[in-house]
Amino acid sequence: MSVDRAEWARERTGYIKRFPEVRAETRNACVAEYESKVQQLQQQNQQNIQAMSDLRSLITDTHDVAQYTLRFLGDRAKLTDARQAALIKQTRQAAAAATVAAQKTEAVEQKVAVAATKADEAANTAKAVDKKLETATHPSLPAQPWAGSRR
């Protein structure tokens, strides 16, 4: 048993001697592991910062595009509204002119009808006078010349 005990003591002494080395190795392994994790987290943080920066620039670009689009659509709507207002104004003016022209045409037609009626009456009167003149009996000439023609 003493041999076993001596071996055990030697083994124990070897373990105790190696204990600080094993501890240092374990500590170094843990430090290396956590340093790599910290570096990974720092890299990920840098990537996140870069992604946020890119995202901000994209948001700014999107905002600018949206602003330009809205301005363009607003200008286009203004032009369309102005064009439609001009068309409506022209249509109203044309309708008013057509109404005035229709009224003037009606007045002219009435005047033409009145003039035609008067011309027709004048023609009828002329025909009647012509008939009367044709059918009228000429007075007979006196047998002797009248007094003013004696010489």
pLDDT digits (tens, 9 = 90+) for 57-116: 888 989 999 999 999 999 999 999 999 999 999 999 999 999 999 999 888 899 999 999
Residue 134: the pLDDT is 75
More confident residue, 139 or 59: 59
Write the CA distances from 129 to 118, 121, 133, 139, integer angstroms: 16, 12, 6, 18
Put residue 73 in one of left, alpha, beta given phi > 0 → left and psi -120 to 50 → alpha: alpha
pTM equals 0.41
Is 33 in a helix, a strand, or coil? helix
- How far is it, in rounded angstroms, from Cα 98 to Cα 105? 10
- How far is it, in rounded angstroms, from Cα 4 to Cα 90? 121
Residue 147: the pLDDT is 63
More confident residue, 149 or 109: 109
